[in-house]
Structure 1
Amino acid sequence: MNLTPDSKVLIQGFSEFISAIHVEQMQAYGTKLVAGVNPGCGGQNLYGLPVFDLVEEVINKYGSIDTTIICVHPYQVLDAALEAIASDIRQIMIISPGVPALDMVELLRKAEATDTLIVGPNSPGIIVPGKILLGTQPSEFYTPGSVGILSRSTTLTYEIARELTQAGLGQSISVSIGSDAIVGSSFIQWLEIFDEDESTQAIVLVGQPGGGREEAAARYIAEAIDKPVIAYIAGTQAPPIKHWRQTGNLAAVIGRDPDFGTAKSKLAAFIEAGVPVAERPSQIPELVKKSI
């Protein structure tokens, strides 16, 4: 994983999922954006970036690229990601939401075979405060420090960063893995990364109803994570019949526990694993301070 100010970054696609403000924010933060790719727009200049028709053309001009940020239409994400992988780009951030499930299955098989890290879809990306911003997270809420933020949410990710910053707790890395039904990397993968990261002393995990990712993370924390973890689950007051469409709630599968995918199930899993759970975002800084 290469998340440093020297990392060369590409943007694939210019759509409603990313704006000139986001590009300017990344550039102002020191992110080394080298070019954009938008088929049919080669030779143009968008948001201050030279635009090419193909990823291969960017590689030929600027050399190897560390990370690509994909912002194309959801039905074009698979092609864009496969093009990036074919050009040996091994870190892919997918901002676009609503990528078809079968496209993600195919992409994940290819990513596993090529050792490619995929964040998203439906993710605001990653920020390493003080070093690099990849995506649409608002950098003004962050400050360098030692608390890692790992989330499924978008806006809650930087709301919690703001709470930590106001309490004098800086952040080491903040990543939203994305809230589509199928995403590229898991809580478990990032827990392992954070556990091995020397700059991270504590981890804040932010979950929400839908699927069983938080329950799996809770078991993994109990078995393998040495650093303190604080959890927060959004949607605890949502009605039981509420369906979190974007998180891929599969609770209506025959043979599963009726609480599968609910906030209740996730809270119970973290409590059983001995992980402190905040009732609201404003409690997180206090729990973090107690843990370190």
Structure 2
Amino acid sequence: MAILISENTKVLIQGITGREGSARTRFMLEYGTKVLAGVSPGRGGSEVWGVPVFNSVKEAAEEFGPVDASVTFVPGPQVKKAVIEAIEAGVSFVVVPAERVPLHDSLEMIAMARREGARILGPGSLGLLSAGKAAMGWEKIILTTRYTLAAVGLPLVSA
């Protein structure tokens, strides 16, 4: 299985100014994740935990260059728009923690990702963790108490 996130992965947070986006960004930064920028339409020019906020993924990519991955902290009905925006801006890996994403939206996102050579983890994903290196999405309690660096990796999937 390919390593999808490392200490060098350049991560963007969509929905960074919301409650979940802000809290999880802080946890990811504390864990060592390389969070380049956040996106919240209408809030460009602000900062969250020292991370600059842009109005769109395209604006963030123009400022920082290619973004490797995005994690979306937006409500289920808004996920499709966020994922499409990320993929259109050249992001090749998107983590979607949100639940209650309409099925048809999920199918459209997956089809687009396949066409564009991108990957989506979710909807309904806890996130992704490379022990001791970087994380996308996870809650602080999970990041700090359960996983340590080892020679073997184990992908976990809930049904």
Alignment TM-score > 0.5, same fold:
yes
Whether contact under 8 Å (1:27, 1:33) holds in the other structure is: yes
Which of 79, 82, 107 aligns to 1:80? It is 82
Distance 1:103 1:73 in 2: 13
> Offset of 1:49 from its aligned partner?
1.6
Which of 139, 142, 149 aligns to 2:143? It is 139
Q: Aligned with 2:101: secondary structure?
A: coil
Change (3 A) 1:43 1:18: closer
> Offset of 1:135 from its aligned partner?
1.1
Whether contact under 8 Å (1:18, 1:136) holds in the other structure is: no
**Greater RCO, 1 or 2 (C-alpha within 8 Å, sep 6+):** 2
> Offset of 1:108 from its aligned partner?
0.7
* The structure with more radius of gyration: 1
1:152 is aligned to: 157
> Offset of 1:17 from its aligned partner?
3.8
Spell out the pairing of 1:67-146 with structure 2 (5 A cutoff). Answer: 67-137=69-139, 138-140=142-144, 141-146=146-151
Q: Aligned with 2:37: secondary structure?
A: strand
Distance 1:49 1:65 in 2: 14
| TM-score normalised by length of structure 2 | 0.88
State the Cα deviation string for residues 74-102 of structure 1 (Å, max 9, x = none).
11111110111111100100011111000
Whether contact under 8 Å (2:13, 2:25) holds in the other structure is: no
- Tell me which amino acid in the other structure corresponds to 2:147: Y
- Tell me which amino acid in the other structure corresponds to 2:143: S
> Offset of 1:144 from its aligned partner?
0.7
Q: Percent identity?
A: 35
Whether contact under 8 Å (1:7, 1:67) holds in the other structure is: yes
Q: Would you say how many aligned residue pairs link Structure 1 and Structure 2?
A: 153
Whether contact under 8 Å (2:5, 2:128) holds in the other structure is: no
Spell out the pairing of 1:221-260 with structure 2 (5 A cutoff). Answer: none
Task: List gaps (5 residues or longer) in structure 1.
Answer: 154-207, 209-292
Distance 2:105 2:70 in 1: 18
Q: Aligned with 1:127: secondary structure?
A: strand
Q: Aligned with 1:151: secondary structure?
A: coil
> Offset of 1:27 from its aligned partner?
0.9
Distance 1:37 1:122 in 2: 20
- Tell me which amino acid in the other structure corresponds to 2:11: V
Task: List gaps (5 residues or longer) in structure 2.
Answer: none
Q: Aligned with 1:149: secondary structure?
A: coil
2:53 is aligned to: 51
Whether contact under 8 Å (1:17, 1:95) holds in the other structure is: no
Query: What's the RMSD between the two structures over aligned residues?
Result: 1.6
1:36 is aligned to: 38
